[in-house]
Structure 1
Amino acid sequence: MHPEIHLALHHARAAELRDQAEAHRLAAKHQRDLRTRLGWTLVEVGLRLATPRPALAP
């Protein structure tokens, strides 16, 4: 294989890998955001369940 062809293939593959890495980073960030919101929601629900309700006055 000629060196120029090999270099062109290398550059093309490197560009594909960079695109895939960027897509993966964006997907991972979205999952972290969702996981964080869900976690805090569960903490809030747990605190509401653990807090005793005030007694009703007769």
Structure 2
Amino acid sequence: MAAHNVRRDFRKVLDSAKLIGKNWAPREFRHRFVSLLSDHDIPIEDISRLVGHSTR
């Protein structure tokens, strides 16, 4: 699947949720997710695992 198609479909979902799709990208949701977990004192190892980082 091409990145352009993913972004387009992602924006459609956001628009249908009454958000402004053009203002968001998937990476921004990922960064926000990490920030929220960090703000709530979730251990960095758990955050890393949740966002798919390898243990290497």
TM-score, with structure 2 as normaliser: 0.33
**Structure (1 or 2) with the greater helix fraction:** 1
Question: Which structure has the greater CA radius of gyration?
Answer: 1
TM-score, with structure 1 as normaliser: 0.32
Q: Relative contact order (alpha carbons < 8 A, sep ≥ 6): 1 or 2 greater?
A: 2
